[in-house]
Structure 1
Amino acid sequence: MPVLTAPEKNVIPTFTLQQNSGRGNTMIDVREAGGQCGEFRLDPAFLQPHRKDYYFFVLVKSGDNRHWIDFVPYTVKPNTFYFTVPQQIHLKEHSAPMEGLMMSFTNEFLQLEDNRILQQLPIIQNPAAAHEIQLSPADLTFVEDTMRKMLIEFNADGTWRNQMLTSWLRVLVIYLSRLYSEQYNETCVTLNYCLLKSFQALIGEHYATQHDVAAYAEKLNLTPGHFTEVIKQQSGKTAIAHIHERLIVEAKRRLLHTELSVKQIADELGFEDAAYFNRFFKRLTDTTPIAFRMEIREMYS
């Protein structure tokens, strides 16, 4: 496994699947962790705040690692399935032995024509910002069996390898999406729901440069009135609230994980000046950026 570059204190790095796998240009990676003697060894860079630009699925058989996803701490439980989506901030508190199966795949894989329908699945969209799925004994058997089939195929490098991996991956994400829907009460996918997810994806791309609802409506070829009506109907929140929430999340990420000044964070997020950013942050969180930084770091420590 290649050594990743540890982050600078004012930069939250994004690691690619190619960096992590060491196999060159790949869209799917499958690993097994076998405790202290397993083939997978955590790179020290992953003990620092970082993002992944790929989807990361883990079936934990045993282990008690503690880690953070954005601002939520998790203690890993045996026989539980964990997952993350690109751009969330990961932070492991320590590296400890773990047994389980790990699978990663890229957004590039989801962009392939035959896989685009997978983009609408609940576990890919992750509207509940969830991170773990509870498994019944039957679920555990099915998920482990599917991931082991993928691991064998991944390591065999045989004929039709990519097609087999893709087929098993489709089965796995559909099965897990069923469990996601049951455990997080996810609604059925409709055209209007897809519009909401497209809007949220656009916010993810443009939050630092575009704060205006009308601009997003234009990108989606809709009138601002119809656009705002659909977003409110689908989510119960206004379109501007979605934009503001993403700005707050990104501000909190930088306040917790970097030493950037409030002015520097305001500049990175596209605010005209630090004073306006301070007022914006306090209006939405009932606290100032500096007070939040002190509180969240005290909680983490």
Structure 2
Amino acid sequence: MQEIKGLLNKIKHHDRLEIMVNENCKIDIPQDVLEKLLRPHKLAHYCFIFLDHGSETYKIDLQDITISDSQLVFGLPNQIFSIPLKNSHTLNYKVAFDENTLALLPNSFSFLLNPLNSNTITFTPDAKERVKSVCFNLFNLLHATGKPKNTEIILAYLNTLLTEFNNAYFEQRNSNNLSNPKLSKYIAFKLAVETHLTEQYDVHTIAAKLAMTTSSLYGVVKEFSGVSPKEWMTNRLMMEAQRKLQYSTLSVKQLAYELGFNDPDYFSRLFKKRTGMSISAFLANHHD
């Protein structure tokens, strides 16, 4: 397993922004970079693949995710991601950018926290055409010959594209985005857990930080995730453990301490209980 920090800089399509937009793989990727992308890798940037026509299967955090016409799959920083070989029967756009580029945009996009635990988005026919249009314009702006690549215009188009993604992400699940107070609390819960992941705060502490009772927090998390806050936090830690086991060389004891466990043996037992396999079996199954 490998991290690809800095890899986007090798394939970016702008001199000032870390951004890449490709249409049906028209822009060749260097062979050494392609080899890394085709293997499971830890993302260091945001990655989006919009499929106009066809079907493709990607792997994100050990799960196969298949998309087809009018769908998009996205990977977020720190997720384990792998892409399939190019399928000549698919028509797609690939968009990637880093945190610094995202920070330049005027809007914030709550779907990038993935509150609904889905790495896919399905577009209505009208939204699909708008997304195609924005992707087409972005691609041509970035690859126009003999013309300067206007940073402000490119950022404006990227902001519009992410707005389309954000709206479709919530609309496909009949959610009202952040206007839903329960969803806002769930997103705040996820953010609090991410911020203090290795500190392993208990449910009471997280609830207090969110100005909620433990029972109200339980209701919100259960509604949107199907599990209790404690289960969600444990599952998140186990996912982080699986990610780290794929790309780091830490010993089990070191990994346990890094994730905030005082007892490596307890960590090993919990890992087996949650994943269905021992750490040694997991490593054997997912060895490159």
What TM-score, normalized to structure 1?
0.73
Return the offset for 1:292: 5.0
Q: Give 1:45 shift.
A: 0.9
Q: How does 1:1-301 map to 2 (within 5 A)?
A: 9=1, 12-15=3-6, 17-21=8-12, 23=14, 25-34=16-25, 38-41=26-29, 43-62=34-53, 65-92=56-83, 94=85, 96-97=87-88, 99-112=91-104, 114-115=106-107, 118-120=108-110, 122=111, 124-156=112-144, 161-189=150-178, 190=180, 193-208=183-198, 210-213=199-202, 217=206, 222-223=208-209, 226=212, 228-229=214-215, 231-236=217-222, 238-255=228-245, 261-285=251-275, 287-291=277-281, 297=286
Q: Sort the Cα spacing of 1:187 and 1:287 in 2 relative to 1 into closer, same or farther, 3 A.
A: farther
Contact 1:82 1:131 in 2 (8 A): yes
- CA shift in 2, pair 1:273/1:86, >3 Å: same
> Aligned-pair distance for 1:104?
2.0
| SS class of match (2:142) | helix
Verify the 8 A CA contact 2:21 2:139 in the aligned structure 1: yes
In 2, are the aligned partners of 1:143 and 1:172 still within 8 Å (CA)?
yes
Conserved 8 A contact 1:213-1:239? no
Alpha-carbon spacing, 1:15–1:144, altered in 2? closer, same or farther (3 Å): same
Deviation of the 1:55 alpha carbon: 1.9
Q: CA deviation at 1:145?
A: 1.1
- Between 62-71 and 283-292, report the one with greater CA deviation: 283-292
Q: Name structure 1 gaps, 5 residues minimum.
A: 1-8
5+ residue gaps, structure 2, are none
Q: Contact conserved, 1:192 with 1:230, CA < 8 A, in 2? A: no
Q: CA 1:83–1:93 in 2, change beyond 3 Å: closer, same or farther?
A: closer
Aligned-partner Cα distance in 2 for 1:178–1:56: 18
Among all aligned residue pairs of Structure 1 and Structure 2, give the percentage whose two residues are the same amino acid. Answer: 22
Q: Is contact 2:51-2:92 (8 Å) kept?
A: yes
CA RMSD between the two structures: 3.7
Q: 1:100 to 1:286 in 2, by over 3 A?
A: closer
Q: Note the C-alpha offset of 1:144.
A: 0.9
**Residues 182 and 199 from structure 1, CA distance in 2 versus in 1: closer, same or farther, beyond 3 angstroms?**
closer
Distance in 1 (CA, whole Å) between partners of 2:209 and 2:55 is 50
Q: Is the 8 A contact 1:27 1:109 kept in 2?
A: yes
Distance 1:131 1:43 in 2: 22
Distance 1:228 1:18 in 2: 44
TM-score (norm 2): 0.76
The structure with higher relative contact order (CA 8 Å, sep 6+) is: 2
| Other structure's SS at 2:81 match | strand
Checking the alignment, whether the CA contact within 8 Å between 2:12 and 2:18 is kept in structure 1 is no
Say if 1:13 and 1:176 are closer, same or farther in 2 by CA, change over 3 A. closer
Q: Please tell me whether the aligned partners of residues 56 and 105 of structure 1 are also in contact (alpha carbons under 8 angstroms).
A: yes
Deviations 1:33-87 (A, max 9, x none): 34xxx21336111122212232222223456554311121134535532222222
Equivalent residues, number: 278
CA deviation map 1:243-296 (0-9, x unaligned): 2121111123345566765434324423223211023224445654345556x6
SS of 1:184 mapped into structure 2: coil
